[in-house]
């Protein structure tokens, strides 16, 4: 069984972990963004923990298709007051950012993991992460949020995602970041059509490398809207189904909005597979 090192936390990966989303943007695609309302954000974080989240992913810049970048000072202004409060709760907190200054400040404020949609693509990012003990999620994205869904193209999406992630893992290793701190993510919806997403999902573990743990984030995404025909506020059931299928296909971390429902689905899976029950 592998163990993910996330700052002061050691997270056994013998069962899928649920990462609850805490969105601090005013323009979240899923409508759950708390904007600059610190108290509301803290309440939502508490709600996710009480629902059974193993960890939180907190982000202050939208990465939905078409999103306009958030200035660094605004990202910090939204993020840091909430992070300072929730980092004291004894639960691993991941921060969703690609900006080196935000990474450094977040790590100083108690973040245990960096979730980077650019896979530490900024030239200064790797050294900041390497100098800490934090976990890191390396995600694949083709293009950037503003334009990534304008006709994305691949010759072989699975091979190209795997090669990209393998290259990023190699850069991390060179910088001294140990494998037990790394999580990989094929980046569903980030510069990918529905067909690309489905192709990646079908062979999920083949998108990774060296058996490093995979994170899957499909919660409420447009891929589920395209499949079900439902608007974003009615994609809860599809999101739980996708998370469960991700777990069955080997994902070790599930990034979700609907924590309680996902935990229930995972409990059913554990009971059927291993006879593990709460009673
Ligand atoms: C920030 N963010 C939005 N969607 C995501 C996904 O699928 N994976 C990761 N790692 N981060 C995401």
List, for residues 18-69, the tens digit of each pLDDT value.
999 999 998 766 667 776 789 999 999 999 999 999 999 999 999 988 899 9
Q: Is the pLDDT of residue 211 over 70?
A: yes
List, for residues 113-167, the tens digit of each pLDDT value.
999 999 999 999 999 999 999 999 999 999 888 878 888 899 999 999 999 999 9
- Which residue owns the Cα nearest ligand 1 atom 4? 217
By most ligand atoms within 8 Å of CB, the mutation choice from 63, 144, 149 for ligand 1 is: 63
Determine the pLDDT at residue 29.
63
> Is the distance from the beta carbon of residue 115 to the nearest atom of ligand 1 less than 6 Å?
yes
Determine the pLDDT at residue 34.
72
Residue 200: both structure tokens together: 């990646």
CA-based nearest residue to 217, from 19, 37, 65, 61:
19
Mean pLDDT of 256-273: 97
List, for residues 85-108, the tens digit of each pLDDT value.
999 999 999 999 999 999 999 999
Mean pLDDT of 232-241: 98
Q: Band of the pLDDT at 279, cuts 50, 70, 90?
A: low
* Beta strand segments in 113-198, E: 113-116, 135-139, 182-185
159 a catalytic residue: no
DSSP secondary structure code for residue 55 in this structure: E
Mean pLDDT of 222-239: 97
| Dihedral-angle region of residue 183 (phi above 0 means left; psi in -120 to 50 means alpha; beta otherwise) | beta
255 a catalytic residue: yes
> Is the distance from the beta carbon of residue 5 to the nearest atom of ligand 1 less than 6 Å?
no
Q: Where are the domains positioned within the chain?
A: 15-272
List, for residues 197-207, the tens digit of each pLDDT value.
999 999 998 88
Determine the pLDDT at residue 31.
63
Q: Determine contact, residues 2/213, Cβ cutoff 8 Å.
A: yes
Q: Determine contact, residues 168/136, Cβ cutoff 8 Å.
A: no
d(CA 226, CA 235): 10
Catalytic residue (choose from 99, 168, 220, 221):
221
Determine the pLDDT at residue 81.
97
> Is the distance from the beta carbon of residue 185 to the nearest atom of ligand 1 less than 6 Å?
yes
Catalytic residue (choose from 64, 220, 255, 263):
255
Mean pLDDT of 244-258: 97
Where does 15-272 sit in CATH, by number?
Answer: 3.20.20.20
d(CA 54, CA 56): 7
- Which residue owns the Cα nearest ligand 1 atom 3? 63
Stated length of the chain: 279
How many CB atoms within 10 Å of residue 279?
Answer: 3
Residue whose entry in the numeric block shows the structure tokens 């300072």: 84
Determine the pLDDT at residue 35.
67
* Beta strand segments in the chain, E: 3-6, 9-12, 17-23, 55-59, 93-96, 113-116, 135-139, 182-185, 215-216, 253-256
Strand-pair partners of 214: 184
């Amino acid at each position: 069984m592998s163990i993910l090192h996330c700052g002061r936390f050691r997270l056994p990966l013998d069962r899928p972990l649920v990462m609850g989303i805490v969105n601090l943007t005013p323009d979240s695609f899923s409508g759950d963004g708390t904007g600059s309302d610190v108290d509301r954000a803290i309440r939502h974080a508490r709600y996710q923990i009480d629902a059974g989240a193993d960890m939180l992913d907190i982000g202050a810049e939208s990465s939905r298709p078409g999103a306009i970048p958030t200035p660094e000072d605004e990202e910090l202004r939204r993020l840091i007051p909430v992070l300072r409060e929730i980092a004291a709760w004894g639960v691993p907190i991941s921060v969703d950012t690609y900006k080196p200054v935000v990474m450094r400040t977040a790590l100083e404020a108690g973040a245990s993991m960096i979730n980077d949609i650019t896979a530490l693509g900024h030239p200064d990012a790797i050294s900041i992460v390497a100098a800490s003990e934090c976990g890191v999620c390396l995600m694949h994205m083709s293009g950037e949020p503003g334009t990534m869904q304008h006709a994305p193209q691949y010759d072989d999406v699975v091979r190209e995602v795997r090669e990209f992630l393998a290259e990023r893992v190699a850069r991390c290793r060179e910088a001294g970041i140990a494998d037990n701190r790394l999580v990989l993510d094929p980046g569903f919806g980030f510069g990918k059509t529905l067909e690309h997403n489905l192709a990646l999902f079908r062979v999920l573990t083949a998108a990774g490398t060296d058996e490093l743990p995979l994170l899957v984030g499909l919660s409420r995404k447009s891929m589920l809207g395209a499949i079900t025909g439902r608007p974003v506020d009615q994609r809860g059931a599809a999101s739980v189904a996708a998370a469960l299928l991700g777990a069955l296909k080997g994902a070790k971390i599930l990034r979700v909005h609907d924590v309680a429902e996902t935990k229930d689905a995972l409990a059913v899976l554990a009971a059927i597979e291993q006879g593990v029950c709460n009673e």
